[in-house]
Amino acid sequence: MTTPAEPWMRRGPFAEGEWVRLNDAKGRKHNLQLVAGKEFSTKKGQLRHDDVIGQPEGIVITASLGGEYQVFRPLLSEYVVSMPRGAAIIYPKDAAQIVTWADIYPGARVVEAGAGSGSLTAWLLRAVGTEGHVGSYEIREDFAEVARKNVGQIIGDHPAWTLTVGDVREVITETEIDRLILDMVDPWSCVPLAAERIVPGGVVCAYVATTTQLSRFVETLREHGEFTEPRAWETLEREWHAEGLAVRPAHGAGSHTAYLVTARRMAHGQRALAKTRRPAPGAYGPDYTGPRPASVIESSHAP
């Protein structure tokens, strides 16, 4: 079995070794890798891989018991939601937000702390192209192996990627970073690293699961003083059912996945402008135990 060259730029007829996506009329989906002489079992019969190899995208093939399937190369957004997982994945809607608001561009030098299952890694590699670099760090060997396999299947042997097993705070090799993406339980612990390695004007972005993580990361950036005022948000997505006059939100459509925070690195030694409005009453009351911005500390001692 051969693997086509430059798999992230495939066009033309399907080749042996490629991954394809099958869809039936009920919306059932299957991903499979084409192997000459092999068959794929479905509820509606056997599908011969040889009936797909050499054919163009967008064909309809018929299984041995009459079931029909459309065949396409999987979009990255389709592949990542169905690929094998070690850690939970970053879903396409959040990956799109990260690529957009962290401003991932061709040629960027990106460090990703927490490779997980490789979902975001694939998006980052597509964004930086072959002239940039993505350095992924994953603390768990088993997760790293899943990420390595998943990225290899959908992106291939990308020349801009390195994957390191270890704690990014201890083993990082990159000295100048344009973008730092933190997908980890305690992203605030990487603020000193971000301050040391991100170039002036660069972006740090954290992907967190809870509001308490969001709050602590935001306040740690503010306390440091050399990052712009953090922007924190979530993106809600709602799919719609559209059939004739029956147009309504789809049943069971989940919208929330996680929270995102971005901030930019000031020039070294330059403090960011503090927020001009006073914090909300009680925002830093006696129950608050996290870091406090300098402006809050100063105001608490004012006469």
d(CA 126, CA 113): 18
- Least Cα distance to 48 among 36, 65, 30 occurs for 36
Q: Express each pLDDT in 120-146 by its tens digit.
A: 999 999 999 999 999 999 999 999 999
Paired residues of 182 in beta bridges: 113, 206
Residue 239's region, left for phi above 0, alpha for psi from -120 to 50, else beta, is beta
Is residue 275 within 8 Å of residue 229, measured between CB atoms?
yes
Task: Identify the pLDDT of residue 157.
Answer: 87
d(CA 116, CA 98): 16
Domains of the chain (ranges; CATH) run 7-74 (3.10.330.20), 79-300 (3.40.50.150)
- State mean pLDDT over 76-87: 86
Taking a C-beta distance cutoff of 8 angstroms, is the pair 177, 110 a contact?
yes
Dihedral angle sign, alpha carbons of residues 288, 194, 164, 89: positive
* Mean pLDDT within 266-283: 82
What pLDDT score does 155 carry?
85
Answer yes or no: is pLDDT of 276 > 90: no
Q: CA of 218: how far to CAs of 69, 211, 262, 292, in Å?
A: 48, 10, 9, 10
Q: How confident is the model at residue 279 (pLDDT cuts 50, 70, 90)?
A: low
